[in-house]
Amino acid sequence: MARKIEHIYNLRLDVASQVNLDKPISFSFDGRVYSGYEGDSLASALIANGVRIVGRSFKYHRPRGIMSAGVEEANAIVQIGEEPYRQPNMLATKVELYDGLVARSVNAWPNAAFDLFAPLGFAKPFFVAGFYYKVFKWPSWQFWSPMVRRLAGLGTVPKQPDPDDYDYHHAHTEILIAGAGVAGLLAALKHGKSGRKVLLVEQDKDLGGALLFEKCEIDGMSALDKVAEMEAALEAMDNVTIVKRATVTGYYDDNFITISERLRNHLPPHVDAHIPRERFWHLRAGQVIVATGAIERPLVFANNDRPGIMLASALRQYANRFGVTAGKRIFIATNNDDAYRTALDMHAVGAHIVGIADVRPNPQGDLVNAVRALGITVYDGHAVVNTSGARGLKSISISKIENNVLDERQRAFNCDVLGTSGGWSPVVHLHSQSGGKLRFNEEVQAFVPREYVQQNVCIGAANGVFELVDIYSEVSEKAARLQKLKTEPIQAFWDLPKNIKKIKNSKRWVDLLHDVTASDVALAARENYISVEHFKRYTTTGMAMDQGKTSNVNALAILGQETDRKIQQVGTTKFRPPYSPVSMGAMAARSTGALFSPLRNLPMHVWHVENGAKFEDYGGWNRPAYYARSGENEEQAIEREIHNVRHHVGILDYSPLGKVMVQGPDAAAFLDYFYCNNVSNLKLNRARYGLMLNEDGNVIDDGVFTRLADDEFMATTTSGGAARFAASMEEWRQCEWPHMDVVITNITTGWGCISLQGPKARDVLLKLDIDIDLSGEEFSHMSMRSGKLAGVDVKILRTSFTGELGFEIYMPRSYANAMWELIVNAGQEFKLAPFGLEALMVMRTEKGFIHIGVDTDSSTIPDDVGFGAPARKKVVDYIGKRSLFRPASLRSDREVLVGLKAVGDAPLRAGSIILAKGHKKAPAPMDGRVTSSYSSPTMGHPVALGVLKNGQSRMGEIIKIYDLDGVREAEVVAPCFYDPEGKRLNG
């Protein structure tokens, strides 16, 4: 923060307000330092300091000032804070001031007051709605877009990661009340007294809504006192919860609600940094009461975007709540009674009301007459037609309107503030999100809720009930003592009559944030973009950050006028969540970093860490890729591990292997549905390798199934496929074969598995206390024994994915780490060493064992991997069988698994493409691909597996293989390089 505090103007009023004049604080805007008070919004403080230009418009960089006091703000968009806390695109009207707050304008350079892009405003005659669809075709949009992109966007993206935390909050309530204005408060009191669980959510820091600034008496007390009384009553109810600084942002199916709660945005970034910055609520509500109030609409006239032109209600809000005024000479333009409240209130705080232009011929409501009684001139039947003031409003001119014809004569008035009111639009966003329908209510000239489809109801201004006394009778059980005013209805007035050419061609802004004018709306109509959706997209109305909160209804009405339709015939677009923008950090909450998709650690994780494992994510498991010893690189480590398994013995933490128990009288028959090879004829304690298919005939998983008893099997799956496979079995059991008596249990994470592989594997186990006969005669390859190893009940499966003698030892996970350490110690004399997944991948490739998802893809059928004969012979109607008899499955030229022996020393690259015969370079037809490929320290030459069209009949052929670097050659061989007779694993 820099320089001294500067006072240009002081527009702070000498009236009681809700800012604390005893607590001055300083802040900066666009590099200049200003002072404000505790309780100020950034907007009220800027107004008090006479800062008129707070931003630049999106397309034309026109100077813009604060136009509202709420979430509907379309001009005062700023960036708050500094890296790494910088927050782009905040509404100055909703930013609570704190000491040291740093704010900057967006979309302006060097700042909002002096913007070098301002000359873009002169291009307005060319940059009309949709002009870019008509030009930039030559030479191409590609050529022009970098220039356009330089001008795009508002705030800038933070450069550093967000240091703050966010949370989800899950909750239920019987009644949610969105909005704590008078309607919401009354509803909360009523339902609170009924004893039901009530949640009252208010986007502001204070309860009260319009009562925070409306001068009225309720039950003989001031509005503020009444709010305090109601709040105290609610606080006293245990069943009522009040959440402030929270916005109900989304309304989803079955009354599921999201709420964005801002816990720390009103504080300097370092204060309370231990609590989350925002909380994103997931709420299920029994009933939703939408009491979200209404938003005032601006009037549309020439140059209605100058700094100083504001919503009429915002003027009195700033005066009464914050004790500031945007200017000293105020003019008011309206088509309804409500704006007269602004005249009365501003007059009361000492501002000069220059006059009021009311389009209604002879308004006689109580408020109007009260204004007249003060000697303020009401120009009835008049509208503001134009304004002047390049850097802020200086004067306005009004003309008489009769029968929708504008009088040529104009009267000018000097003023620095113009409050305009075109009526009020109920905030029906949540209702619309819930699926509810809207209707246009002529009486209040606004869209109001029509049909409810969920458990919700709109009340108060959100329901088109605007007057306090009417809200009381709508919501409250007991009447209040309130003054009943005589009012006169609003008169629709959407745009100026077009009988005067100069006015017709003037810039009458409809969507301030997206720089859309009434002429743009007319242009869209002229070009037949007359559906709401076409018009919205063509002109971009309502698609800016404010999502059209002040512009949509005006635009729809003007479109209606241009196309001779009533506004209800034009219709509305659907309101989409969120109601106001939500931080993406809050929506992600804790589901990022390690918790985005948590990795699972192995039972022996700590041991692996301590022994130099390099971890990688294999199917969601954090597994050692290899164990690096000092001085070794990855390749050397893997080579050493392979050598050790091939010559001595290796140990692998195989716990992630999918393990599913299938038990029950029908276990064998049930499993027979899931494998393309036979299960039922498997003998006790024997194991068999099998392929699982989907109903489409494609191989989706593989594994070994073992018969533990007549009625009990253990099936292994790939580590990534375990949950899916077990769930699929359950689905078939419950939905298709409920008569089968079988229980399926996924024990993958409950049981650990230690795999010992290598010629010395047996010797290592024999060093331990074991009651299982491990001899080759008694315990052959592909069989299982149960027994005790070092006093622990284990199951040992003799199997191998390496091609060596191998034992997989299964035991409850809690024993796995101790068992691992015992075996590692026992193995020392046999040179036992751990090996990782990469060594395993090399060894299984040497042996020609397929890896599902690597050597297969979603089109692989059993025939492609050598299982065609058993799969076709099997009698049972197993899953996927029928699909193997479709024409494509029976083709003779399918891509089948082959071995590939590269010509040359370097291994092929997995993912290389096999060129069709006769082709030497890309592009070319494909005959297959390399699926697995490694240097093989065992074989002394590279080994690879691949799939090749007609592969079985092409043994010995030299094929051409394409990879990024070029084309290589390889010989087609049988898919097994190492110990094809299987002597070693059977040993």
Partner 1 sequence: MMNIKCPYCGNRSEAEYSFGGPAHLVRPIPAAEVSDEEWVDYLFMLDNVKGVSAERWCHSHGCGQWFNMLRNTVTHEILTIYKMGESLESAKGGENGA
Partner 2 sequence: MQKYSTLSLVRNALTHHNGWEKAWRSPDLKSEYDAVVVGGGGHGLATAYYLAKEHGYKNIAVIEAGWLGGGNTGRNTTIVRSNYLFPQSAEFYDFSLKLFENMSRELDFNVMLRQAGLLTLLHSRHDLEVMRRSINAMHMNGIDSDWVTPNEVADMAPGINMSDDARYPIVGGILQKRGGVARHDGVAWGFARAGDSLGVDIIQMCAVTGFDIENGEVVGVQTAKGHIKTKKVAIAVAGHSGVLADMAGFRLPVSSMALQACVSEPLKPIFDAAIMSPSLGMYISQSDKGELVMGGALDAYPSYAQRGNINTLEHIIAGIVELFPNFSRIKLMRQWAGIVDIVHDSTPIIGLTPVKGMYINCGFGTGGFKATPAGGWTLAYTLANDRPHKMNEDLSLKRFETGAFIDEMGAAGIAH
The footprint of partner 1 on residues 881-910 (CB under 8 A) is 881-883, 885-887
- Residue 534 interface partner, choices partner 2, partner 1, none, CB cut-off 5-8 Å depending on type: partner 2
Nearer to partner 1, 149 or 739 (CB): 739
Nearer to partner 1, 408 or 731 (CB): 731
Q: Compute the least distance from the CB of residue 571 to partner 1, in Å.
A: 19
Nearer to partner 1, 6 or 877 (CB): 877
Nearest alpha carbon to residue 118 among 75, 63, 65: 63
**Helix, strand, or coil (residue 646):** helix
Q: Are 291 and 187 in contact (CB under 8 A)?
A: yes
Nearer to partner 1, 147 or 735 (CB): 735
- Residue 572 interface partner, choices partner 2, partner 1, none, CB cut-off 5-8 Å depending on type: none
Residue 18 tokens read as 């809700």
Round to whole Å and give the CA distance between 81 and 102: 5
Report 793-812 residues binding partner 1 (CB under 8 A). Answer: none
Beta-ladder partners of 914: 928, 961
Q: What are phi and psi of 399, to 5 degrees?
A: -140, 155
Angle (deg, nearest 10), helices 837-847 and 634-647: 60
Strand spans (E) along 805-955: 806-812, 833-834, 895-902, 913-915, 926-934, 943-949
For residue 516, the number of C-alpha atoms closer than 13 Å in the C-beta half-sphere is 31
Q: How many CB atoms lie within 10 A of CB 393?
A: 25
Q: Compute the least distance from the CB of residue 450 to partner 2, in Å.
A: 19
- Residue 284 interface partner, choices partner 1, partner 2, none, CB cut-off 5-8 Å depending on type: partner 1
Nearer to partner 2, 706 or 889 (CB): 889
The only residue of 738, 918, 923, 940 in contact with partner 1, by rule CB under 8 A: 738
The only residue of 272, 617, 635, 736 in contact with partner 1, by rule CB under 8 A: 736
Site string for partner 1, 742-781 (x = CB under 8 A): ----------------------------------------
Q: How many CB atoms lie within 10 A of CB 265?
A: 18
- Residue 538 interface partner, choices partner 2, partner 1, none, CB cut-off 5-8 Å depending on type: partner 2
Q: Compute the least distance from the CB of residue 31 to partner 1, in Å.
A: 45
Q: Compute the least distance from the CB of residue 883 to partner 1, in Å.
A: 7
Q: Are 94 and 41 in contact (CB under 8 A)?
A: yes
Round to whole Å and give the CA distance between 379 and 357: 5
Angle (deg, nearest 10), helices 518-526 and 532-539: 120
Q: Compute the least distance from the CB of residue 594 to partner 2, in Å.
A: 6
Q: What are phi and psi of 897, to 5 degrees?
A: -70, 130
Nearest alpha carbon to residue 312 among 332, 337, 295, 336: 332
Nearer to partner 1, 63 or 721 (CB): 721
Report 856-885 residues binding partner 1 (CB under 8 A). Answer: 877, 881-883, 885
Angle (deg, nearest 10), helices 552-562 and 518-526: 40
Q: Compute the least distance from the CB of residue 938 to partner 2, in Å.
A: 21
- Residue 159 interface partner, choices partner 1, partner 2, none, CB cut-off 5-8 Å depending on type: partner 2
* Residues contacting 734, CB < 8 A, separation 6+: none
Strands 20-29 and 101-105: parallel
The only residue of 32, 124, 284, 647 in contact with partner 1, by rule CB under 8 A: 284
Q: Compute the least distance from the CB of residue 260 to partner 1, in Å.
A: 16
- Residue 736 interface partner, choices partner 1, partner 2, none, CB cut-off 5-8 Å depending on type: partner 1
Round to whole Å and give the CA distance between 747 and 111: 64
**Helix, strand, or coil (residue 671):** helix
Nearer to partner 2, 476 or 622 (CB): 622
Nearer to partner 1, 144 or 252 (CB): 252
Q: What is the DSSP letter of 723?
A: H
# of chain residues touching partner 1 (CB under 8 A): 25
Nearest alpha carbon to residue 258 among 367, 366, 176: 176
Cα→Cα distances 240→172, 233, 286, Å: 12, 10, 14
Q: Does 252 participate in binding partner 1 (rule CB under 8 A)?
A: yes
Report 413-442 residues binding partner 1 (CB under 8 A). Answer: 435
Nearer to partner 2, 526 or 629 (CB): 526
- Residue 727 interface partner, choices partner 1, partner 2, none, CB cut-off 5-8 Å depending on type: partner 1
- Residue 236 interface partner, choices partner 2, partner 1, none, CB cut-off 5-8 Å depending on type: none
User: What's the distance, Cα to Cα, between the start and end of the chain in Å?
Assistant: 79
Q: How far is CA 52 from the centre of its chain?
A: 36
Nearer to partner 2, 435 or 787 (CB): 435
Q: Compute the least distance from the CB of residue 752 to partner 1, in Å.
A: 24
Q: Are 354 and 376 in contact (CB under 8 A)?
A: no
Strand spans (E) along 231-381: 240-243, 246-252, 256-262, 278-290, 294-296, 309-311, 329-334, 352-358, 378-380
Q: Are 86 and 80 in contact (CB under 8 A)?
A: yes
Residue 579 tokens read as 């109601």
- Residue 88 interface partner, choices partner 2, partner 1, none, CB cut-off 5-8 Å depending on type: partner 2
Nearest alpha carbon to residue 659 among 767, 745, 579: 745
Nearer to partner 1, 254 or 610 (CB): 254
Site string for partner 1, 378-417 (x = CB under 8 A): ----------------------------------------
Q: Does 710 participate in binding partner 1 (rule CB under 8 A)?
A: no
State whether the Cα torsion 864-867-873-876 is positive or negative.
Answer: negative
Q: Based on the number of CB atoms within 10 Å of its own CB, is 767 exposed (0-12), middle (13-18) or buried (19 or more)?
A: middle
Round to whole Å and give the CA distance between 101 and 32: 11
Nearer to partner 1, 633 or 734 (CB): 734
Q: Compute the least distance from the CB of residue 46 to partner 1, in Å.
A: 40
- Residue 882 interface partner, choices partner 1, partner 2, none, CB cut-off 5-8 Å depending on type: partner 1
The residue written with tokens 């916005």 in the block is 247
Q: Does 249 participate in binding partner 1 (rule CB under 8 A)?
A: no
Q: Which stretch binds partner 1 (CB under 8 A): 179-187, 551-559, 731-739, 841-849?
A: 731-739
Q: Are 876 and 677 in contact (CB under 8 A)?
A: no
Site string for partner 1, 681-700 (x = CB under 8 A): --------------xx----
The only residue of 256, 350, 502, 591 in contact with partner 1, by rule CB under 8 A: 256
Report 438-457 residues binding partner 1 (CB under 8 A). Answer: 453
Nearer to partner 1, 16 or 890 (CB): 890
- Residue 169 interface partner, choices partner 1, partner 2, none, CB cut-off 5-8 Å depending on type: none
Q: Compute the least distance from the CB of residue 736 to partner 1, in Å.
A: 6
Nearer to partner 2, 611 or 622 (CB): 622
- Residue 254 interface partner, choices partner 2, partner 1, none, CB cut-off 5-8 Å depending on type: partner 1
Q: What is the DSSP letter of 125?
A: T
Nearer to partner 2, 230 or 555 (CB): 555
Q: Compute the least distance from the CB of residue 510 to partner 2, in Å.
A: 16
Nearest alpha carbon to residue 491 among 338, 345, 293, 343: 338
Nearer to partner 1, 710 or 731 (CB): 731
Nearer to partner 1, 52 or 874 (CB): 874
Cα→Cα distances 277→241, 250, 260, 962, Å: 20, 19, 11, 53
List contacts with partner 1 (CB under 8 A). 252-256, 282, 284, 435, 453, 695-696, 727, 730-731, 734-736, 738, 877, 881-883, 885-887
